[in-house]
Amino acid sequence: MDSREAILERVRNALGRKLGQKPLPPPEPLLRVRYETADAKLTLFRAQLNGTLTVVPDAAAAGNAVEKLLDGQSAVASDHPFLQACGIPNIPGVTANPEDLRNTCATAGVGITSAYCLLAETGTIVLRACPQEPRLLSLLPPVHIAVVPLDRLLTNLDEMLSMTPRPVDSDSSAMVLITGPSRTGDIEQILVRGVHGPGAVHVVIVLGKTPPL
């Protein structure tokens, strides 16, 4: 008998269950979806975000805001259509959708992404791996900037899961919730930022009419 069958049989024996016996239904999931106005969510997100928040009126202003945040540093940007709409690839020093993704991310000063959504209650950026937004952009550079339209700002994780019950599926291999910078307290519980991931996180929220995602 291979380990698979052996383990399953041990589990069934331990539980006194028969092969193919139906389970009872699990307890109803608790999703505490709290709908808030956009203004309320914005206020909450600003208060919770462990990083800087810039709110701009439109896509054109987003490009300027990012340029200011970059302050001359080299940056690598994703191929997300919203970043293109904001003119991010045209900012001097920004490499968009690079040929050699890994090395570009490893040497760039800043990584620029959009986001799947933002969560107001925890100040969280949610990224979902997809062809336009690879994983390493928000991970290897020492600074992460996320440029996101206001309509992607949700109240909390529960609301996101009510809309996306499967965070990973045939379209995406990974979702990551980013709540502030990389940090460690492993030595004497003294907080150090940027130990492995970005040490600083900036979010630019774009108001006004934005293209659907």
Within 139-158, the residues that bind other proteins by CB under 8 A are: 139, 156-158
The 158-177 contact track toward other proteins, x by CB under 8 A, reads x--xx--xxxxxxxxxxxxx
Per the DSSP assignment, residues forming a β-bridge with 133 are 130
Q: Are 194 and 182 in contact (CB under 8 A)?
A: yes
Which of 163, 89, 185 is CA-nearest to residue 119?
Answer: 163
- The span from the CA of 1 to the CA of 100, in Å, is 47
- The span from the CA of 121 to the CA of 205, in Å, is 16
Helix (H, G, I), strand (E, B) or coil at 76: strand
Q: Is residue 72 close enough to count as binding other proteins by CB under 8 A?
A: no
Nearer Cβ to other proteins (22/209): 22
- The first and second tokens of residue 9, run together, are 């049989």
Nearer Cβ to other proteins (6/38): 6
Nearer Cβ to other proteins (61/136): 136
The 19-48 contact track toward other proteins, x by CB under 8 A, reads ---xxx-xx-xxxx----------------
Nearer Cβ to other proteins (13/209): 13
| Nearest distance in Å: CB 126, other proteins | 9
Q: Is residue 102 close enough to count as binding other proteins by CB under 8 A?
A: yes
Return the HEC string of 84-128: HHCCHHHCCCEEECCCCHHHHHHHCCEEEECCCEEECCCCEEEEE
| Nearest distance in Å: CB 69, other proteins | 20
Q: Is residue 10 close enough to count as binding other proteins by CB under 8 A?
A: yes
